[in-house]
Amino acid sequence: MSIDYSEKIPNNVHLSDDQRLQRALEKWQSAFLGWWRELGPVQSETLDVYLRTAVGVDAKGWAHFDHVRMPDYRWGIFLAPEEKDRTIAFGAHKGQPVWQDVPGEYRAELRRLIVTQGDTEPASVEQQRQLGKSCPSLYDLRNLFQVNVEEGRHLWAMVYLLHAYFGRDGREEAEAMLERHAGDPDRPRILQAFNERTPDWLSFFMFTYFQDRDGKYQLASLAESGFDPLSRSCRFMLTEEAHHMFVGESGVGRVIRRTCELMREHRTEDVRRHGGIDLALIQKYINFHYSICLDLFGAELSTNAATYFTAGLKGRFLETRIDDDHVLADAPYQVPEMHGDAVAYTDAPALNAINERLRRDYMDDSQRGVDRWNKIIRDAGIDVMLTLPHVGFNRGIGTFTDYHFSPDGRLLTEADWEHHRNNWLPTDEDYAFVQTLMQPVTEPGKVANWIAPPARGINNQPTDFEYVRFG
């Protein structure tokens, strides 16, 4: 299923057949390009970057790699192939044909889901816009820009749905996504994790590991939707999202590998004086990014999530592979509750615990990557283990909002938390130290001292390939 790049807006949705929609999207395209120039990656206008561009939406051979001048990247609208005779897999409409148009009774709920997902995409670009100035290698700079342009395209995916299916309300929502900005005190992004700073490359790698992994689970849940255009949009977005998580996991892994090399070479845990990032600080970054991402899934019990599921709008991760009735009328699911000073897991209606189940899937997946990072440390002969903090640590939404936990799960008083928090979360001093390492390295094949070289290049290219050309 190929993509037409002869159009002003590349697409595979026959956009030229609807002139009114095409004109509306071309108007929004002008605003998008203005936003990209103002809040996209800084100092990238003259760069030629070795980027992948989608040329199809089939499983194989869907991407073309070549040097592209950053402002000339072709964003567009791409839906995965339609599944013949697809039916809704869950909820009250289970077994019915999927919707090709918005069901009127669920219009507001569906629009809210699309807007919330769409708002995260430009937010991450805004959060990462300064990082190109301090890239640890051309390989990493290329990966940053690949993530950025694809987040921009994911915004396009949601904006198309708003324009095509929600009329005037949809157009206004699409405009608002370019008016909210990450960290803006007056018009912030919808979800708090997308208002946090991403001030350095370790933060970027953590972001693409943890925040983009949340994106994987949200997109996979929306890919189950009974609203077929949303499902098809998210299925193709997941294809691109995989690389973002690879950038995160491999990036953190390379930092850890280099730290271990410095520890062994200098026989010390204090690698800061040797230009490295110590494992204790890496642990602090893990604690921060993981905990704020747990909040992205919402409260443990949610009537909104139950409504989305029952309506057939948003399913669970890999819904069709779950061995139950996919209706959940009387099914239980265990959720955490505070019983005095202890956390206890008690049965709750599974329908109201959709968020918690998705969070649990995310937690298990996050642990698998941490296990691989720990193998790097173990193989280096170093007796340190990185961990994910307790589910109640540093939480701002749900059961644990009014409680303080240590990373190992001890309930703390307010005073204890304030006394110890700087031991567990990055401090201004920590960020300032990492900033001292953020010196750009732009010679092909060279990497900064604080990170190990990549194991292999992109698209079978060598690691010393000129991934970015400076004009």
Q: What is the DSSP annotation of 215-246? A: HHHHHHHHTT-SBHHHHHHHHHHHHHHHHHHH
389 within domain boundaries? yes
The average confidence (pLDDT) of the chain is 97
What are the respective helix, strand and coil percentages of the chain, to the nearest 5?
A: 50, 10, 40
Helix (H, G, I), strand (E, B) or coil at 405: strand
Check whether 13 has a pLDDT greater than 70.
yes
280 within domain boundaries? yes
Taking the CA atoms of 105, 107, 113 and 116 in sequence, report the sign of the dihedral they define: negative
Domain span at residue 37 reads 15-470
Q: In degrees, to the nearest 5, what angle opens at C-alpha 350 toward C-alphas 94 and 352?
A: 95
pLDDT tens per residue, range 205-238: 999 999 999 999 999 999 999 999 999 999 999 9
Dig out the tokens for 384 from the structure.
Answer: 């340190």
Question: What is the pLDDT, as a whole number, of residue 157?
Answer: 97
CATH code of the domain covering residue 331: 1.10.620.20
pLDDT tens per residue, range 311-327: 999 999 999 999 999 99
Q: How many domains does the chain have?
A: 1
8 within domain boundaries? no
Check whether 49 has a pLDDT greater than 90.
yes
5 within domain boundaries? no
Nearest by Cα to 76 from 19, 22, 17: 22
Where residue 302 falls among pLDDT bands split at 50, 70, 90? very high
Check whether 22 has a pLDDT greater than 70.
yes
Mean pLDDT, rounded, for 101-109: 97
Question: What is the pLDDT, as a whole number, of residue 328?
Answer: 97
In contact, 29 and 9? CB cutoff 8 Å: yes
Burial class (CB in 10 A: 0-12, 13-18, 19+), 257: buried
Check whether 1 has a pLDDT greater than 70.
no
CA distance 16 to 38: 29
Burial class (CB in 10 A: 0-12, 13-18, 19+), 120: buried
10 within domain boundaries? no
7 within domain boundaries? no
Nearest by Cα to 382 from 261, 238, 277: 261
**Buried/exposed code over 124-136 (b: 16+ C-beta within 10 A; e: otherwise):** bbbbbbbbbebbb
pLDDT tens per residue, range 414-446: 999 999 999 999 999 999 999 999 999 999 999
For residue 439, which amino acid is it? Q
305 within domain boundaries? yes
Q: In degrees, to the nearest 5, what angle opens at C-alpha 107 toward C-alphas 22 and 169?
A: 45
Euclidean distance between the first and the last CA atom of the chain, given in angstroms as a whole number: 35
Nearest by Cα to 12 from 73, 58, 47: 58
pLDDT tens per residue, range 360-399: 999 999 999 999 999 999 999 999 999 999 999 999 999 9
In contact, 28 and 172? CB cutoff 8 Å: no
Give the percent of the chain with pLDDT over 90: 96
232 within domain boundaries? yes
Question: What is the pLDDT, as a whole number, of residue 61?
Answer: 78
Question: What is the pLDDT, as a whole number, of residue 29?
Answer: 97
